[in-house]
Chains A and B, each alone.
Chain A
Amino acid sequence: MYVAVKGGERAIENAHRLLAHERRGDRSVPELSLSQISEQLGLAVDRVMSEGSLYDRELAALAIKQARGDLIEAIFLVRAFRATLPRFGATEPVDTGAMRVQRRVSSTFKDIPGGQVLGPTFDYTHRLLDPGLAQGGDPEDPALAATSDVPMPRVTDILGQDGLIEPSPAAEADAPVGDLTRDPLSFPAGRDLRLQNLARGDEGFLLALGYSTQRGYGRNHPFAGEIRFGEVEVEFFAEEIGFAVPLGSIELTECQMVNQFKGSATEPPCFTRGYGLAFGQSERKTMSMALVDRALRARELGEDVIAPAQDEEFVMSHSDNVQATGFVEHLKLPHYVDFQSELGLLRKLRQEFADANAAPALKEAAE
């Protein structure tokens, strides 16, 4: 229990004033603009949009500026903002197969229709700090090459043609889509709720859990069947218009993890799969998400639930960094009354301890 304590108003006001001063930093250094953050710290913006669960580059950039680069604080700000706007409805499900691909790689097939497109990636860089970048200056324009009209089917679609991989669970007509922003979580949770939870879950938490499955805590033998990043069109069916309205496009990253087989007496063995999808270019996040999604399917696939990543309640209850930081950080709020009662109890116990130890001595002395 914590109680409101009067008397701190002036201190709080001045603390916030000092925070604003520190946020601005040395005033002889030019102030950051939102477009600078959005354009030059794009992956931080992507993470805040993903975990803030709100696609809006400008708002995410503002949150990062206001939070002094503390991304979890920024995610918190974005989540609080989303609660202030009305929701018009849900979009038509996006078609990642029709993505305008900027990057698409597969670790399972060298020659995939549409090819391997590296796009803007840190892969194959030497991870050496670049003194040239410290100086600044414009980089070369990107190279251009002829484009082709060859479609880029998802790698899982190609495997699916031969029945080598399980199909995605089909949509049930008129089945409601679970929404954890509207209804409290209950367990067991469907795959829809699990994916929503993971999509907004903390990247570090999912990374650690995904890593744990690779190290043997719920091993599921993954291959990165495909990772793709690019723009997809979003459409929204508006009642008053009577057709699905194009809203524009958003950037998404998708990861299809291909995992060890399952089979039964009645069904031939086939690869299983885990899925990751997130706003922006969020490759580590979607790969981790796909590993954990697959791990959470343990019960469905008849595997023993023995590791943290397979424990739905554990994963889903601890993945949200806004909830987690709220509960951890509330420890620094005044707990004076709680602590006083603990202190009172401790004094009593110590007194009892002292009395009990003093008693034999007294007895001896008396004898």
Chain B
Amino acid sequence: MSGDTALQERRKGAMRVLAHVPSAEIGARMAEVTVPPHRELRAAESGLVMVRGRVGGDGAPFNLGEATVSRAAVRLDSGQLGFGYVLGRDSEKARLIALCDALLQSPEHAQAIETRVVAPLRAQVQADQQRSAAEAAATRVDFYTMVRGEG
């Protein structure tokens, strides 16, 4: 069971990273690893999800508005099923994410995907987010109290 949970966390972690990267960059990283025979289980398609918020930020859910989403499913000939769901209308990106997801579940390929695709892209996404955070941090207000001069 804990093995399943660890695998699920790895899959989610990879999806979380890949969702933030343009498909061309995922494709370029994928070109560096061996991809075994596979087929598309479900042709990539675009659709919508209804994005939900919460009243007051932490209360009952409500429907905020929709977002475009693309999804795809891939099966390796060795049996592993991979899924890709991602915001936007880039079906190639959904396919690549599904392929990575399938490969992460294959003992033979998981290591290569993790170290050569996901890890470098994670570093890149984190660097981008860190930069945004540093830009915001520079606009943080440092209040100081005016103190009357001596005498």
Separation in Å of the A240 CB from the closest CB of chain B? 7
Q: Which of B54, B132, B134 contacts A168 (CB 8 A)?
A: B54
Please tell me if the beta carbons of A191 and B50 are within 8 angstroms of each other in the complex.
Answer: no
Please tell me if the beta carbons of A195 and B140 are within 8 angstroms of each other in the complex.
Answer: no
Please tell me if the beta carbons of B133 and A246 are within 8 angstroms of each other in the complex.
Answer: no
- Residue of A88, A110, A256 ringed by the most chain B CB atoms within 10 A: A88
Query: Which residue on B lies nearest to A175, using beta carbons?
Result: B60
In the complex, chain B residues 110-150 whose Cβ is within 8 Å of any chain A Cβ: 129-141, 143
- How big is chain B's contact interface, by range? 35 or more
Query: Which residue on A lies nearest to B42, using beta carbons?
Result: A240
Question: Is A119 part of the binding interface, using a Cβ–Cβ cutoff of 8 Å?
Answer: yes
Please tell me if the beta carbons of B85 and A245 are within 8 angstroms of each other in the complex.
Answer: yes
Q: Which residues from chain B contact A184 at a C-beta distance below 8 Å?
A: none
Question: Is A249 part of the binding interface, using a Cβ–Cβ cutoff of 8 Å?
Answer: yes
Please tell me if the beta carbons of B19 and A91 are within 8 angstroms of each other in the complex.
Answer: no
Please tell me if the beta carbons of A196 and B88 are within 8 angstroms of each other in the complex.
Answer: no
Please tell me if the beta carbons of B55 and A275 are within 8 angstroms of each other in the complex.
Answer: yes
Question: Is A233 part of the binding interface, using a Cβ–Cβ cutoff of 8 Å?
Answer: yes
Query: Which residue on A lies nearest to B19, using beta carbons?
Result: A248
How far apart sit A209 and B62, CA to CA, in the bound complex (Å)?
22
Please tell me if the beta carbons of A96 and B53 are within 8 angstroms of each other in the complex.
Answer: yes
Please tell me if the beta carbons of A177 and B83 are within 8 angstroms of each other in the complex.
Answer: no
Question: Is A15 part of the binding interface, using a Cβ–Cβ cutoff of 8 Å?
Answer: no
Q: Which of A53, A171, A233, A254 contacts B65 (CB 8 A)?
A: A53
How far apart sit A167 and B62, CA to CA, in the bound complex (Å)?
16
Please tell me if the beta carbons of B55 and A56 are within 8 angstroms of each other in the complex.
Answer: no
Question: Is B51 part of the binding interface, using a Cβ–Cβ cutoff of 8 Å?
Answer: yes
Contact A277:B63 (CB < 8 A) given known A110-B143, A248-B19, A248-B88: no
Q: Which residues from chain B contact A102 at a C-beta distance below 8 Å?
A: 132, 135-136
Question: Is B39 part of the binding interface, using a Cβ–Cβ cutoff of 8 Å?
Answer: no
How far apart sit A238 and B62, CA to CA, in the bound complex (Å)?
19
Question: Is B73 part of the binding interface, using a Cβ–Cβ cutoff of 8 Å?
Answer: yes
Please tell me if the beta carbons of B61 and A171 are within 8 angstroms of each other in the complex.
Answer: yes
Please tell me if the beta carbons of B65 and A256 are within 8 angstroms of each other in the complex.
Answer: no
Separation in Å of the B14 CB from the closest CB of chain A? 9
Please tell me if the beta carbons of B68 and A111 are within 8 angstroms of each other in the complex.
Answer: no
Contact A147:B133 (CB < 8 A) given known A50-B65, A116-B141: yes
Q: Which of A90, A171, A244, A256 contacts B57 (CB 8 A)?
A: A256
Please tell me if the beta carbons of B48 and A82 are within 8 angstroms of each other in the complex.
Answer: yes
Stretch with Cβ within 8 A of B (4 or more), from A20-28, A137-145, A210-218, A352-360 = A137-145
How far apart sit A177 and B87, CA to CA, in the bound complex (Å)?
22
Sampled A-B contacts (15; CB under 8 Å)? A88-B69, A91-B50, A94-B54, A97-B57, A100-B133, A143-B135, A144-B137, A195-B64, A196-B63, A236-B49, A247-B49, A247-B69, A273-B56, A277-B53, A277-B64
